Amino acid sequence: MIRKNFFSILVALLLLYLSLANSENFEKVQQISIPYFDKIVHFGMYFVLMSVIIIEHRKNISNSLNLFLLALIPLSYGILMEILQLTLSATRSADFFDALADAAGVLTSVLLWLVFKPAVKETVR
């Protein structure tokens, strides 16, 4: 099971570190003056996590319901990270909009898979 999910576990562990590390580690990143940059980062991280999960399980995704059930994993993980930031971190705080950005990244990955999966099947034949 670990070997089958190796890359998604690796990405999840990276997200765990990035979510719970001392915020002082990211002071240089905070100097970037792009509005809502942190939300863009959240979107990207969870887009990547869901995309890796999809790639690792692409042969087992037989219908949209399976895909949406699979999406519950990174959605729950994102909510868990926000709760852990609230309860475990002295330098981080939970943010509802971070969780929304996480969900948007997951949903975008799912929707892209649903759009491009038929095209990928056609080119493989």
If you average pLDDT over every residue of the chain, what do you get? 88
pLDDT higher than threshold 80 for residue 106:
yes
Q: Is the separation of the CB atoms in 19 and 84 below 8 Å?
A: yes
Residue 16, pLDDT score: 95
**How would you class 52 by CB atoms within 10 Å of its CB: exposed for 0-12, middle for 13-18, buried for 19 or more?**
buried
Most confident by average pLDDT, 31-35, 65-69, 89-93 = 65-69
Q: Is 71 a domain residue?
A: yes
Residue 73, pLDDT score: 96
Q: How far apart are CA 87 and CA 103, in angstroms?
A: 21
Q: How many domains does the chain have?
A: 1
**Cβ within 8 Å of residue 73, ≥6 positions away:** 53
pLDDT higher than threshold 80 for residue 100:
yes
Percent of the chain with pLDDT over 90: 61
Q: Is 114 a domain residue?
A: yes
Q: What is the pTM of this model?
A: 0.88
Q: Is 118 a domain residue?
A: yes
Q: Is 62 a domain residue?
A: yes
- Residue 102's nearest CA partner among 84, 117, 86, 80 is 80
Q: Is the separation of the CB atoms in 53 and 8 below 8 Å?
A: yes
Q: Is 11 a domain residue?
A: yes
Residue 17 backbone phi and psi in degrees, to 5: -60, -50
Domain limits at 114? 6-124
The model's pLDDT over 111-120, given as tens digits with 9 standing for 90+, comes to: 999 998 877 6
Q: How far apart are CA 61 and CA 52, in angstroms?
A: 13
Residue 66's Cα: distance from chain center in Å? 17
Q: Is 77 a domain residue?
A: yes
Average pLDDT over residues 47-53: 98
Q: Is 1 a domain residue?
A: no
Most confident by average pLDDT, 9-23, 71-85, 106-120 = 71-85
Q: How far apart are CA 33 and CA 82, in angstroms?
A: 23
* Residue 4 vs residues 56, 65, 79, 95: alpha-carbon distances, Å: 7, 21, 24, 32
